[in-house]
Structure 1
Amino acid sequence: MEPTPASAAPYASTSYGSAINPVISRKKWWILLPVLSLLSLALCAVLAFHGYIAWMLARPAIAPLSSNPQLAAGLAYEDVRFASSDGASSLEGWFIPAEDSDKVVVFSHGYGGNREELWVPFYSLAQELNRQHYNVLLFDYGYVQPDLSVTGGVRESLELEGALKFVKEKGMKHTYVWGFSMGAGTALQTALQNKQIEAMILDSMFLLEPDTMFHNIKNQIDLPKFPSLPLIRLFFPILNGTSMDQIPYRTVKETDYPMPIFFIHGEKDVKAPYEVAQEIAGNQSNPNSRLWLLPNARHELIYKANKKEYLRRTMAFLNSVVGSGSS
């Protein structure tokens, strides 16, 4: 007996569907596969690119030393070596002695620089300080060494504390810190805990916080803040061992420091926005603290553009601080 059309129809429909659906699925898969592959490659490229930025930020190219205090400025000096306060870093520097003086200025160099910081230049400032009977310590932060990275002041503040301990052991009774760029930001982080610093001069102060970091990146590469900033912050601790959350930038900006601080900044500084220095300076209540804001000055180039005025103001600040007992 032949099957009725009614009974045959469902069978035919099921058979047809079973035959055609895998074909459709395979076609869709072959269309989606290259699209998914391209999306995966694009995602990997974006992640790798931002990882590379995070890696490079912590490893700036640093020129080797080109001279020394004797050759560059006629200053007698000692090669010195000391450890960071936690003993994790071994640091090298030059100690320039002043006759019959227990006052010392410790220089804190900036990102991408070393104990010479030729564009400031350190040798000229050390020469003037020595002439006015200040001992001087110039030293390299640990990231100048090829196996260490920049940590935005987390490790560097411990290294500056090591420098302060070193000069104290050499008999220095009055210690002042002169910081530039990130070295100035590091000095502020160190001063949160260290009571040895009697006064600070902070030139072109740079504090590593997310917005300032992105501001500098955007000056080089026009990236959107999202997702670039979150991705760089994600990769920074993975690749460099330090999270930006470890940098106490909020505390630094809100603290009223006990010691007098001389802030020097240029309004045309495209690396370290002057508003940050202005904000921190505005929080200071020490009567000897002050802010010198120059309308046309650029990052770390203030001395070169205003040599006489720069020396007059900075030396007057130091000498007035010494004469008043620092605070």
Structure 2
Amino acid sequence: MLILIALIAAIFLFVVVPGFLSQILTHGGFNYPDPNNGKAPISYGLKSRWAEFKSSDGITLRGWYIPSDGPARGTIIYCHGLNRSKVEMLPRAQFGHQLGYNGLLFDLRHHGQSGGKVTSLGYYERLDVLGAVRYALEVEKAERPIILWGVSMGAVASLMAAADSPDVSAVISDSAFLSLADTVRHHWKLLIHLPAFPIADETLYAIGWRAGFPPGDLDSEKAVEHIGLRPILFVAAQGDRRMPPAIAEELYSHAQSPSKKLVILPGTRHGEGFNQARDAYELAVKDFLTQVKAR
């Protein structure tokens, strides 16, 4: 009887739990209204027009294009985090607009008002970002430089897209993870208080299988290396237990640009630096953008 109980427990722990978690992460219902539903660019005093375009693999994406009031200094594409929507990025877009930039905010696949049935935590979302870059340049005729500003999953997608696109001049990466493997193992230990091996590896495999990509290829560190000499601003929250500052420091160490920057915001949590330490955040972004040139 004890052997049977142990066997059932092992199956539950090593098969059912990773399978369930991977299902939630990749196929969870992220198309529900944002907690800030009802807010739009006009809520922040911004004039906008509806934007609808395709990702590089044909998914319909929807959002807002916010032109600058005068001659634009460039164009910022804003990328939200997991289980969020374009609404999350509106305060940042308001700041970018104040600095004289065009803005493009959109829902990543399987989020908000965009299409798609699967979330890949950044892997296929990079194709969404590439579609946004193409839309900004070809449809809106947006001014360069093109800057990607992403939070959490959106930061990972931005880094990976920049590695693939020479049209991107710079990236603002807020709370990105190091790699999918690293973050899955870290979250197992942090949230479930269990040894990462072998459960994390089972979860990693299940995520890749459900979303249809090699999990080892979702790697921000490699993307940073491929971005080369283009500048990156890494933002980390000092109180972030999910993506602690050490991750941003590691990514920063792999960036090759002499204009790379790292800012760690005290008294802030994961992805909340802009809301909780806005003055310091805005100062870092403003200083960083002065060094970004069109490609």
Distance in 2 between the 1:138 and 1:243 partners? 28
1:141 and 1:147 map into 2 onto residues whose CA distance is: 9
- What residue in structure 1 maps to residue 33 of structure 2? 64
Task: Pick closer, same or farther for the CA change 1:165–1:253 going to 2, 3 Å.
Answer: closer
The correspondence of residues 148-227 of structure 1 with structure 2, limited to 5 A, is: 148-169=117-138, 170-174=140-144, 175-227=146-198
Matched residue SS, 1:179: strand
2:33 alignment partner AA: P
Shift of 1:261: 1.1
Following the alignment from structure 2 to structure 1, what is the Cα–Cα distance between the partners of residues 234 and 150? 10
**Aligned residue runs from structure 1 range 1-327, under 5 A:** 38=5, 40-46=7-13, 47-60=15-28, 62=30, 63-65=32-34, 66-87=37-58, 89-102=59-72, 103-117=74-88, 122-144=89-111, 148-169=117-138, 170-174=140-144, 175-252=146-223, 254-255=225-226, 257-318=228-289, 320-322=290-292, 325-326=293-294
Q: Supply the AA of the counterpart residue of 1:50.
A: P
* Cα separation, 2, equivalents of 1:287 and 1:83: 34
Deviation digits for residues 209-237 of structure 1, max 9, x if unmatched? 21222212333222222221122123223
Does structure 2 retain, via aligned residues, the 8 Å contact 1:259–1:326? Answer: no
* Structure whose alpha-carbon radius of gyration is higher: 1
Are the counterparts in 2 of residues 55 and 240 from structure 1 also a CA contact under 8 Å?
A: no
The secondary structure found in structure 2 opposite 1:137 is strand
1:277 Cα deviation (Å)? Answer: 1.4
- Distance in 2, matches of 1:60 and 1:293, equals 31
Task: Please give the alpha-carbon distance, in whole angstroms, between the structure 2 residues aligned to 1:166 and 1:76.
Answer: 18
Measured after TM superposition, the shift of residue 146 of structure 1 is 7.7
CA distance in structure 2 between the partners assigned to 1:57 and 1:312 by the alignment: 34
**1:124 Cα shift?**
2.3
TM-score (norm 1): 0.79
Q: How has the CA–CA distance of structure 1 residues 147 and 223 changed in structure 2, closer, same or farther, with 3 Å as cutoff?
A: farther
SS in 1 for 2:165: coil
What CA distance in whole angstroms lies between the structure 2 residues aligned with 1:43 and 1:286? 48
Q: Is the 8 A contact 1:269 1:297 kept in 2?
A: yes
Q: CA deviation at 1:115?
A: 0.4
- Alignment CA distance shift 1:264-1:39 (3 Å): closer
3-state SS in 1 of match to 2:257? coil
Q: Secondary structure at the match of 1:116?
A: helix
Which whole-Å CA distance do the structure 1 matches of 2:266 and 2:96 have between them? 27
Match for 1:133: what amino acid?
Answer: G
Instruction: Give the C-alpha shift of residue 35 in structure 1.
Output: 6.3
Query: Structure 1 CA distance, aligned partners of 2:173 and 2:153?
Result: 10
CA spacing shift, 1:147–1:184, aligned 2, 3 Å: closer
How many angstroms apart in 1 are the aligned matches of 2:239 and 2:203?
Answer: 26
The percent identity for this pair of structures is 26
Distance in 2 (CA, whole Å) between partners of 1:304 and 1:91 is: 26
- Rounded to whole Å, the distance in 1 between the matches of 2:53 and 2:44 is 24
Structure 2 Cα separation of the partners of residues 176 and 253 of structure 1: 15
Please give the per-residue CA displacement for 1:284-305, whole angstroms capped at 9, x wherever unaligned. 3323221112344321121222
1:201 offset after TM fit, Å? 1.4
* Post-superposition CA distance 1:142-170 (Å, at most 9, x none): 02158522213221111100000000011
Per-residue deviation, residues 269-323 of structure 1 (Å, max 9, x unmatched): 11113222112212333232211123443211212222222222212322x135x
Letter in 1 for 2:25: L
**What secondary structure does 1:321 align onto?**
coil
What secondary structure, in the 3-state scheme, does the structure 2 residue paired with 1:189 have? helix
C-alpha contact (below 8 Å) 2:75/2:142 kept by paired residues: yes
CA distance in 2, matches of 1:269, 1:142: 26
Count of matched residue positions in the alignment of Structure 1 and Structure 2: 286
Q: Please, which runs of 5 or more residues in structure 2 have no aligned partner?
A: none
**Structure 1 gaps, min length 5:** 1-33
Secondary structure in 2 aligned to 1:237? helix
